[in-house]
């Protein structure tokens, strides 16, 4: 394989993978291989495109991670709220139970007191 065939193959691969825009491929193929200045410029442009793609992927990854963290925090918040609501309901039920037991105790005692008064006359 000649140098320009290898270059074309590599550039086509990078374009197919979405790393480089197709305009880079068109520009690179028309440039003669002996023009080292132009080749260097193309190499710099390719590296720039690659870095931009990597930065874009990194931003997307960070955004995904941020959304996942937010979802996890929201889920934890909802779980805490549910737990607090459950505890509140349990406290209310306990309070109602204690009030009912106190009422029953007073009724029993009142009945006992009335029973004693009847026996005394």
As averages over each run of 10 residues, the pLDDT of the chain (121 residues) reads: 73 74 61 64 85 94 97 97 97 96 90 62 46
Q: In this structure, are residues 7 and 28 in contact, taking their beta carbons and an 8 Å threshold? A: yes
Instruction: Give the rounded distance of the alpha carbon of 19 from its chain centre.
Output: 27
Q: In this structure, are residues 49 and 24 in contact, taking their beta carbons and an 8 Å threshold? A: yes
Task: State residue 95's pLDDT score.
Answer: 97
Task: State residue 97's pLDDT score.
Answer: 96
Task: State residue 117's pLDDT score.
Answer: 57
Contacts of 27 (CB under 8 A, 6+ apart): 42
Task: State residue 18's pLDDT score.
Answer: 72
Task: State residue 6's pLDDT score.
Answer: 77
Q: In this structure, are residues 24 and 15 in contact, taking their beta carbons and an 8 Å threshold? A: yes
User: Around Cβ 3, how many Cβ atoms within 10 Å?
Assistant: 10
């Amino acid at each position: 394989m000649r140098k320009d065939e290898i270059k074309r193959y590599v550039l086509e691969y990078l374009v197919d993978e979405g790393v480089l825009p197709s305009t880079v491929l068109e520009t690179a193929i028309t440039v003669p291989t002996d023009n080292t200045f132009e080749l260097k410029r193309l190499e710099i442009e390719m590296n720039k495109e690659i870095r931009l793609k990597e930065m874009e992927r990194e931003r997307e990854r960070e955004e995904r991670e941020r959304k996942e963290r937010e979802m996890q925090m929201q889920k934890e918040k909802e779980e805490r709220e549910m737990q607090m609501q459950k505890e509140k309901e349990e406290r209310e039920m306990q309070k109602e139970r204690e009030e009912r037991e106190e009422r029953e105790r007073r009724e029993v005692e009142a009945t006992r007191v009335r029973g004693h008064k009847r026996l005394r006359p």
